[in-house]
Every structure is written in structure tokens, then in C-alpha cells.
């Protein structure tokens, strides 16, 4: 879609609702655009909407959203003060083998690439201090490269000249919930919590630096 990059989130949401730039527009019920305040300090990026999100038109409202909410609460990060979105805005699915529910299908690199235009516009509007990528597809959309979540989650990547935000990559909550063994699930939940605790600590440091800069200027 030929649009400029200076649109407000509301304008982006309206235009994205008509997007047909990849085949996924035929799959989902609607686009599920990001939500949260413009200029939020933290931007949380998932992979794609799930079944419940597709129907509700809001990101992270299903079981994965509940785990995310609990983790945010436990680490003192406000969901309503964060901007929450997905790398891909339409739900990609196929019927489950028993035909009783819609099973998520991972977006391809081409679909992530087609939808990056929307993510880039969200990034321009929000300009977050910290981006938290949930899962490999989000990491690919943000960092433009493949990322091993199991080996590299929890690393805080410092801003670079072409990327002004810190980046943290961690587990996608759906991947945690899908873990077959209970001990794997509990281990990943703990790591997810620890990764968000690092984000909360960094946010506190960023706020303190901002306050001391203001005080210096006022002196
Ligand atoms: S997934 Fe993204 S690029 Fe593809 S049709 Fe939906 S909004 Fe457009």
C-alpha cells in the first residue's frame, strides 16, 4: 500500500483494515491492529493474532494474552501504558484435524515481509524506548534476521544508529502454553518472567536518566 510513514495509529488502523497486500486478508475475519498509547515507552510485538484475537479484533485477548497480562502484572509493567501489536495483522489458520477449531499456521517470511510496512508505521508513530519481541517471527520483523529464541532469549540489544530502541527477544506465550511437558512449560514461564523483569529494570533506569537530565537542565 502506497502511504506515507507519518500516519497516526488511528489512521493506520483504518488503512490497514483494507489491506490486501498478501493472501492472508482472505483468511482472517479482520485486521487486528496494535493498541496502546502513542509514544508508549514499551512496545510488545507478537507473531500474529490467534483465534480469539481474530474474532475480537484486539491483540492478546486469548489464553496467550492472559499469560502476558499475569507476567506484566508480576513485573510491574502496565499493559495499558504499553503498545501491543503483532508482526502480522491477519490470522492465518487451517481447520484442525478434528475439524472442531481453527489451528494457527505460522506466517511465511513473505507474509512477514509484506506486513512489515504496518509494523514500520507503528514504530514511527510510537518510537518506543524498548521493543519486546515475543517469538521468532516478531524478532525477524524487528531485527530483520532469524533468531534462536531458546539460545538467545533474554539478551538486551542496545540501540543502534538505524534502530533507536533497546530490543529484548523472549518466548511467545503461545509457545509456552503449547509446551508438551509440564516441566518445560514451567521452565519457559520462569524465563519469560525473568526476561520481563529485565525489561522492567531497564525501563526504571531509562526513566531515572530522563529525570536527572531534566533536573540538570532546570538547574
Ligand atoms: S497480513 Fe498484513 S500485509 Fe497481509 S493483508 Fe493483512 S495487513 Fe496486509
The answer to whether the CB of 24 is under 6 A from ligand 1 is: yes
Q: At what angle do helices 109-126 and 136-143 cross, to 10 degrees?
A: 60
Q: Which grid cell is 127?
A: 518510537
pLDDT value for 186: 96
The answer to whether the CB of 27 is under 6 A from ligand 1 is: no
pLDDT value for 54: 96
pTM of the shown model: 0.94
Q: Which grid cell is 45?
A: 510485538
- Nearest Cα residue to atom 2 of ligand 1: 115
Q: What is the dihedral of CA 5, 8, 13, 14, to 10 degrees?
A: -90
Splitting the chain (219 residues) into consecutive groups of 10 residues, what average pLDDT does each group show? 82 96 94 96 97 96 96 97 97 92 92 94 95 93 83 89 90 94 95 97 94 89
Give the phi and the psi of residue 172 in degrees, each rounded to 5. -80, 135
pLDDT value for 167: 95
The answer to whether the CB of 21 is under 6 A from ligand 1 is: yes
Q: How far is the CA of 52 from the centre of ligand 1 (A)?
A: 18
pLDDT value for 29: 95
Q: How far is the CA of 118 from the centre of ligand 1 (A)?
A: 8
pLDDT value for 64: 95
Amino acid at each position: 500500500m502506497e502511504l506515507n510513514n507519518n500516519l497516526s495509529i488511528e489512521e493506520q488502523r483504518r488503512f490497514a483494515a483494507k489491506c490486501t497486500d498478501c493472501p492472508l486478508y482472505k483468511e482472517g475475519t479482520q485486521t487486528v491492529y496494535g493498541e496502546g498509547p502513542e509514544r508508549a515507552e514499551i512496545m510488545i510485538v507478537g507473531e500474529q493474532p490467534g483465534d480469539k484475537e481474530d474474532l475480537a479484533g484486539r491483540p492478546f485477548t486469548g489464553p496467550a494474552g492472559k499469560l502476558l497480562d499475569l507476567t506484566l502484572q508480576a513485573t510491574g509493567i502496565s499493559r495499558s501504558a504499553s503498545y501491543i501489536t503483532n508482526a502480522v495483522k491477519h490470522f492465518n489458520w487451517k481447520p484442525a484435524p478434528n475439524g472442531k477449531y481453527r489451528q494457527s499456521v505460522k506466517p511465511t517470511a513473505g507474509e512477514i515481509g509484506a506486513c512489515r510496512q504496518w509494523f514500520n508505521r507503528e514504530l514511527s508513530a510510537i518510537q518506543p524506548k524498548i521493543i519486546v519481541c515475543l517469538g521468532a517471527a516478531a524478532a525477524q520483523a524487528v531485527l530483520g534476521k532469524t533468531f534462536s529464541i531458546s539460545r538467545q532469549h533474554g539478551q538486551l540489544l542496545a540501540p543502534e544508529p538505524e534502530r533507536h530502541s533497546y530490543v529484548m527477544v523472549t518466548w511467545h506465550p503461545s509457545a509456552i502454553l503449547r509446551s508438551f511437558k509440564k516441566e518445560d512449560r514451567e521452565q519457559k514461564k520462569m524465563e519469560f518472567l525473568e526476561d520481563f523483569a529485565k525489561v522492567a529494570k531497564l525501563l526504571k533506569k531509562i526513566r531515572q536518566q530522563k529525570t536527572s537530565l531534566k533536573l540538570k537542565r532546570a538547574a
